[in-house]
Amino acid sequence: MAPASPVSSTLASPRPPGPARGPSAAARRQGHSTAMALMEVDRAFLRSPRGSLKISRTVVALAALISFVASGAREAYAALAGMETGINFLFLLLYLLKLDARMRFLFWPLADILNSVIAALFLLIVSLFAIIIKTNRGTLAGGVLGLVLLVLCLVDAILLWKKISLDKARGRSAPAK
């Protein structure tokens, strides 16, 4: 019987020879729990009116994008619907992962209001052109979905405006007059 070669014995062992490299199991668990604490998901946002509105905006924008792309409509229609889908998804992630509280260099609700108003203006123009021209049914459906998205953008802007309006006493008891 031939003696085992050093190459075959190292291949057969599950652990490399020498001291263990990398963090211990306890350190890995600690790092894992720290990473999970950093990415805490706000489940209450999903059940809130703003959360459901963000989800519905993203879904309607995605439906408009799919209908524009499937119908072979002009690139401007699909580009606007695609940008709106992407931006809505990023704002949804921002609020869902509570990144707006961590990144304080920008007042995120105001940025969201500006996004909603500008998107509503572009959607009004593009959706009306898609409905008026109606080259095929897919373009017409995308235009109608764009108008629905326009209404959702305006509702989102109004809800956000009410949230940040200065009319309310922010958590303080206002004196009765």
d(CA 128, CA 80): 13
- pLDDT value at residue 40: 83
Question: How does pLDDT run along the chain (177 residues), one tens digit per residue?
Answer: 555 555 554 555 455 555 555 555 555 555 555 555 567 888 888 889 999 999 999 999 999 999 999 998 888 899 999 999 999 999 999 999 988 888 888 888 899 999 999 999 999 999 999 899 877 888 999 999 999 999 999 999 999 999 888 655 555 555 555
The residues near 176 (Cβ < 8 Å, ≥ 6 apart) are none
Rg value, the chain, Cα: 26
pLDDT of residue 6: 54
Note the pLDDT of residue 82.
94
Which residues fall within 8 angstroms of residue 30, CB to CB, at 6 or more apart? none
Predicted confidence at residue 104, as pLDDT, reads 86
Whole-angstrom distance, CA of residue 64 vs CA of residue 82: 9
User: How many H helices and E strands in the chain?
Assistant: 8, 0
pLDDT, residue 121, reads 96
Q: Measured between alpha carbons, how far is 78 from 98 in angstroms, rounded to an integer?
A: 30
Q: How far is CA 168 from CA 25, 51, 146, 159, in A?
A: 51, 22, 33, 14
Nearest residue to 156 (alpha-carbon basis) of 125, 118, 112, 101 = 112
